[in-house]
Amino acid sequence: MRSAKVTRKTAETEITASVTLDGTGTASVKTGVGFFDHMLDQLARHSLIDITLQASGDLHIDDHHTVEDCGIALGQAVARALGDKSGIRRYGHFNLAMDDAQIATALDLSARPFLVWNVTFPTTKIGSFDTELVREFFQALATHGGITLHVDHIHGFNSHHIAEAAFKSVARALRIAVELDPRSPGIPSTKGAL
């Protein structure tokens, strides 16, 4: 099984995250941020990556440190679970529609982190959740997972739908990229390393 566990403890947060890449999409997530838990559940279900994540953070200040540090821990866990990346498809893309929202994602498990984020939200909040934290999560995930990640907002006027479509679209693209390719068992790079 391609799996990994990461524990991260700072003055602001304490997080334990584990992933199993060849899972069924089960999630056991408790961050103390309800909307974010819902999004991480979608990330697991649509990527078919099993995710267990427990986080405690300085939520009395705001949700920022918790959301960002969960992205860091999950990115690190995915990178560790991938190992040397032998046999993976490496690239993934998915264009996802959810009601009024449409999000297109393209990614490369290149070990060269980069985020292109062309997503706008019509509101600053979804309930009590700051919409700017969606980008913060994906920035941390891409940086610490070694992922080149492009997310483009094609349509959408409902902030909840836009955020959820982004998580689902990234999840579906990630599912494709981490899958083993039976036709190509080696490292998917002309350099011989990723």
The pLDDT-based confidence of 144 (bands split at 50, 70, 90) is very high
Choose among 159, 139, 156: nearest CA to 148: 139
Contact 103, 172 (CB under 8 A): no
Tens digits of residue pLDDT in 4-14: 999 999 999 99
**Is residue 190 situated within a structural domain?**
no
- Lowest-confidence segment of 1-10, 20-29, 38-47, 184-193 by average pLDDT: 184-193
Percentage of the chain surpassing pLDDT 90?
97
How high is the pLDDT of residue 1?
Answer: 82
Looking at every residue in the chain, the average pLDDT score rounds to 97
Tens digits of residue pLDDT in 83-126: 999 999 999 999 999 999 999 999 999 999 999 999 999 999 99
Task: Please enumerate, as own/partner, the contacts of 163-166 that have beta carbons within 8 Å and a separation of 24 or more.
Answer: 163/35, 163/39, 163/121, 163/126, 163/131, 163/134, 164/38, 164/39, 164/42, 164/98, 164/101, 165/96, 165/97, 165/98, 165/101, 165/102, 165/103, 166/103, 166/105, 166/119, 166/134, 166/138
- Lowest-confidence segment of 40-49, 59-68, 185-194 by average pLDDT: 185-194
**Is residue 157 situated within a structural domain?**
yes
The pLDDT-based confidence of 137 (bands split at 50, 70, 90) is very high
48: domain range? 3-178
Distance separating alpha carbons of residues 76 and 18, to the nearest angstrom: 10
pTM of this structure: 0.97
CATH number for the domain including 10?
Answer: 3.30.230.40
Q: How many domains does the chain have?
A: 1
How high is the pLDDT of residue 184?
Answer: 93
**Is residue 135 situated within a structural domain?**
yes
**Is residue 98 situated within a structural domain?**
yes
The pLDDT-based confidence of 192 (bands split at 50, 70, 90) is confident
Tell me: pLDDT of 134 over 90: yes
How big is the chain by its Cα radius of gyration, in Å? 16
**Is residue 187 situated within a structural domain?**
no
Alpha-carbon distances, residue 194 vs 11, 110, 111 (angstroms): 33, 6, 6
